[in-house]
Structure 1
Amino acid sequence: MNGKIALVTGASSGIGAATAARLAQAGWTVFGTSRRGPQVDGAGFRMLALDVTSDASVAAAVEAVIRQAGRIDLLVNNAGFGVAAAGAEESSIAQAQAVFDTNFFGAVRMTRAVLPHMRAQGGGRILHIGSVLGFLPMPYGALYAASKHAIEGYSESLDHELRNWDIRSVVIEPAYTRTPFDANLIEPDAKLDAYHAVRTAVVRRIQDIMAGADGPEVVAEAVLKAVTVARPKLRYTAGGLAARLRFLRTFAPAAMLDAGMRKDLQLA
């Protein structure tokens, strides 16, 4: 992998930091990004300032990598955030737009910025850190799930468009992952008493599940697998739970999956 250049968004912690560090360990030259900027470089990789919601910031970060390294062989779209467990009705339109501006349009901005360079160099790979919530529903997490569903459709469509230039677009699908992600959750801005009891119960249940969840290194290994194979699949699950959920989504009767999800989240 020596000589390969990777750009990883949201690399200050969690999945992004683990992915950037794993790629660096495998021999990539890695540029990570954070909204806070290059306060401290990561483990074996350099940090750049980047706000994926800003066209100007995206252009500046990509130009900085091209100026320093001459090319970009891999883009990992990882930056994102969610709304704390809440009914979909409890977020305003402005809050819904904010979620999509980072989770979906942030990936679109980054992809559009790197593609001219990848086409000119005759190859590249774009990995989107999606989620099992890109193919499953998430009660009390509808906006986040919707943004990940959007990533799935975007990535698969993009992949077909780009193969003529030897560029591939892939989604990585983790399940619950122990990261500082919760620190970036925002509270719903239109809370309603009608949802309080169930919202509180769902929060407790998710906290219990997260206590036994995989670490971000599991996702980083899935990323490394997706970038090292000659002919990548359209999507890769990360971890045993994600693989089981993908299997159930594909083969289990819809009513069984529906009932299992409600039971797991302890919904009435």
Structure 2
Amino acid sequence: MNKTNPGVALVTGASSGIGHETAKALLNAGYRVFGTSRRADAKGANGITMLASDVTDGASVAKLVDKVLAEAGRIDLLVNNAGIGLLGGAEESSIAQAQAVFDVNVFGVLRMTNAVLPVMRRQGKGRIINLSSVMGLVPAPYNALYAATKHAIEGYSESLDHELRTSGIRVALVEPGFTRTSFEENLTRPDQPLPIYDSVRGKMEIHMRKGVDTGDAPMIVAETIVKAATASVPKRRYAAGKLAGRVRFLRRFAPEAAFDKSLRKQMGLSD
């Protein structure tokens, strides 16, 4: 593999939004790209091979990896992008619903990663990029369970990178802020809604929609993923977009009390 032929990339959740733009950007960067979708009839851009796969199903993941290896013989890059959101008070979700979100956002990443690691280890090289979020860095009222999955991915990815470096495999995080995709349209709603949260939950949904409407184009995130994929020595984390960069800076350097006050004010939460 070289700069003009960086190898084979596998992108989960590639039928729309960030995943779709990422697949196209990697194709333009010279990768042979395989994208996944839960729908068997999902269409990719010209040059992208779309395969049906469900990250919550271990057998489906194993079948996917076997298909890619049968067609391409190797996997040089895995982009774990597939994910779902959940908007509502933390106590409004049943344990079963919380487990379902973790099954996609966390255990889906684990299933995909564990499936490609033997391949990358045999190759003596590989790169894994996990999509986190600014909600993996900061508190996210009324997105607590989603934020918890992204905090988990942060800790998992950083730890895994230390484990795999001696095998020539690196792991990096990409942290978007609000992005102009249909993500908010596909948010899961609480399965045990409580009237006490109705008003503020509605305000949070409006806040999120405004953030998405004025957010970064998904191509910005895709370009950041390509940067993380092609860096000879990857950084541990890549902020994708101006908002993500500001949030990460403030989280690191602002006093905790000041950050807390600013967050509550911005979200219209009273003390």
TM-score, scaled relative to structure 1: 0.98
Secondary structure of the equivalent of 2:54? coil
Deviations 1:37-57 (A, max 9, x none): 244232431100010000000
Secondary structure of the equivalent of 1:213? coil
Superposed displacement of residue 135, structure 1: 1.0
Superposed displacement of residue 202, structure 1: 1.4
Contact 1:91 1:189 in 2 (8 A): yes
What is the root-mean-square deviation in Å for CA atoms of aligned residues?
1.0
Aligned match of 1:46:
49
Q: 2:183 aligns with which of 175, 181, 184?
A: 181
In 2, Cα distance between the equivalents of 1:183 and 1:251? 33
Contact 2:184 2:208 in 1 (8 A): no
Aligned match of 2:69:
66
Aligned match of 1:121:
123
Superposed counterparts of 1:26-175, under 5 Å = 26-83=29-86, 85-175=87-177
Contact 1:25 1:44 in 2 (8 A): no
Superposed displacement of residue 190, structure 1: 0.3
Secondary structure of the equivalent of 1:241? helix
In 2, Cα distance between the equivalents of 1:203 and 1:185? 10
In 2, Cα distance between the equivalents of 1:266 and 1:202? 9
Q: Which runs of 4+ in 1 moved over 3 A?
A: none
Aligned residues with identical type, % of pairs: 58
Contact 2:89 2:143 in 1 (8 A): yes
Q: Relative to structure 2, which stretch is displaced further, 32-41 or 173-182?
A: 32-41
In 1, Cα distance between the equivalents of 2:134 and 2:104? 18
Q: 1:225 aligns with which of 213, 224, 227?
A: 227
Superposed displacement of residue 3, structure 1: 5.2
Q: Would the alpha carbon gap of residues 14 and 258 (structure 1) be closer, same or farther in structure 2, given more than 3 Å must change?
A: same
In 1, Cα distance between the equivalents of 2:64 and 2:155? 26
Q: Does the alignment pair 1:265 with 2:267?
A: yes
Gaps of 5+ in 1: none
In 1, Cα distance between the equivalents of 2:11 and 2:177? 20
Aligned match of 1:15:
18
In 1, Cα distance between the equivalents of 2:187 and 2:210? 17
Gaps of 5+ in 2: none
In 1, Cα distance between the equivalents of 2:45 and 2:57? 23
Superposed displacement of residue 183, structure 1: 2.9
Superposed displacement of residue 187, structure 1: 1.4
Superposed displacement of residue 36, structure 1: 0.3
Superposed displacement of residue 147, structure 1: 0.2
Q: 2:8 aligns with which of 5, 8, 19?
A: 5
In 2, Cα distance between the equivalents of 1:104 and 1:43? 30
| Alignment size in residue pairs | 267
1:140 partner amino acid: Y
